[in-house]
Amino acid sequence: MSNSIETVGIIGSGTMGNGIAQACASNGIRVVLVDIQQAAIDKGLATIASSLDRLIKKEKITAADKAQTLSRIHGSTQFEDLKGAQLVIEAATENEALKIKILQQLDGLLPADVIVATNTSSISITKLAAATQRADRFVGMHFFNPVPMMALVEIIRGLQTSDATHDAVKALAERLGKTPITVKNAPGFVVNRILVPMRRHRRRHETRHQPAHRPAGPGRHDRAGRVPRGDERLHGRIQRQQVPPGAAAEGNGGRRLAGPQEWARRVHLLIPGAVHCCRPAASESGLRLVFLRRPPNSLANLMAIDPTL
């Protein structure tokens, strides 16, 4: 199997589908964007054009760059137009039955050497692969929204995903300027597996400790019980805090911290702008959640220290 991917097919022209299409086309890769209705394709292409216009205003790209990017994207309502792709990414609605139906249709249409990937954020890759006859050429590629801006891509191997398939999609992610991490096929993969208990802990902490008369602000619930959206975004930026063995943490009452191995397992989540949200506190699940203002840079350290995540 060749690692060279020059044409990518994408199923679904919604938020994730058109974002992946833009990321690919902006980096010189031809894209076939497929949806069941032409109106959906037109909307997806309009979203891409609008996104590129914003980059032009910020002087990140030129009008010529926009024209070249759009010229690499071909919209279609026919699955048959995907036959020339080396990789097809399923980015349909997060519905298991729908995804299986699409994957089975693709499996009977595409040549045997074509890699099929799914952008699912939670469904088992092994289970989806079992619906096809190409389990060794099936893999999870979990992009984050907004795709053109977010660097992190989770690459999830199913039980039978081959090394060649993994290497090919990893090389593609790097070509797109992304930071790919290989994760286990576990519920929630890595980011969502951490995000759910983090949100639960934060809400419980704020409910217990926020005075009833205190007005809502960033990182706090408002009076309707909602969480401001800005602090709800994880932005794919998660890493463990670099703390030497036995060091004392500022703002942690001067207590001595565990060594880096145990500290990594408690999983520190770094979210800009949420420094005032809560103080370090151990949750019932054993995770220790800390919110800091400075942004993180990578998830690689966490995976290297604790590959069981």
Residues with a catalytic annotation lie at: 142
Report how far residue 53's alpha carbon sits from residue 51's, in angstroms, rounded to the nearest whole number.
5
Report how far residue 144's alpha carbon sits from residue 198's, in angstroms, rounded to the nearest whole number.
18
End-to-end CA distance of the chain: 30
Q: Alpha-carbon torsion 16, 22, 27, 32, what sign? A: positive
Distances (CA, A) of 162 to 53, 111, 177: 39, 17, 23
Structure-block tokens of residue 220: 């706090």
From the list 218, 198, 185, 174, the residue with the least C-alpha distance to 266 is 198
Three-state SS at 253: coil
What is the number of other CB atoms lying within 10 angstroms of the CB of residue 112? 8
DSSP 106-144: HHTTS-TT-EEEE--SSS-HHHHHTTSS-GGGEEEEEE-
Three-state SS at 250: coil
For residue 267, report the phi and psi dihedrals to the nearest 5 degrees: 60, 100
Distances (CA, A) of 267 to 98, 103, 147, 180, 234: 34, 35, 25, 19, 14
